[in-house]
Amino acid sequence: GPPPPPRLLFHPNCGQKAAVVNEGRTALRPHATDDFNHGVVLSARALRDNELFQVRIDKMVDKWAGSIEIGVTTHNPAYLQLPSTMTNL
C-alpha cells in the first residue's frame, strides 16, 4: 500500500494570539485569560482521503463563554490571512 503520511502537525502561520510550539505538535494561547479571539491554527499539510485525526485538549480556562471550533479548508495555510475567528467561515 501507499506509505503512511507524515505526522499531522500545526502550521507555523497561526493567529496573533496563538502559538505553535513543541516542533509543531502543540498549539496554545500564551495569554489565554487575557485574549479571546485570534487563536486560529491550521494543520501543516492536507488531510489524506479518509484520514482520521484527533485533537486533544490538555488545558482549558473557564473565563470565556466560547468553545473550540474545528473545520476543514482547501486553502494553503502558508498564504492564508487568518481572521480573528473562524465562526463565520
Tens digits of pLDDT across the chain (89 residues)? 878 889 999 999 999 999 999 999 999 999 989 988 899 999 999 999 899 998 899 998 888 887 788 888 888 889 888 888 877 66
Q: Which helix (H) or strand (E) holds 26?
A: strand 26-28
Query: Is the Cα torsion angle 4, 10, 13, 14 positive or negative in sign?
Result: positive
Contact 46, 78 (CB under 8 A): no
| Residue 65 to residue 79: CA distance in whole angstroms | 30
* The pLDDT of residue 8: 93
pTM, entire model: 0.83
Q: Is 62 helix (H, G, I), strand (E, B) or coil?
A: coil
Q: Which three cell numbers stand for residue 56?
A: 486533544
* The pLDDT of residue 89: 65
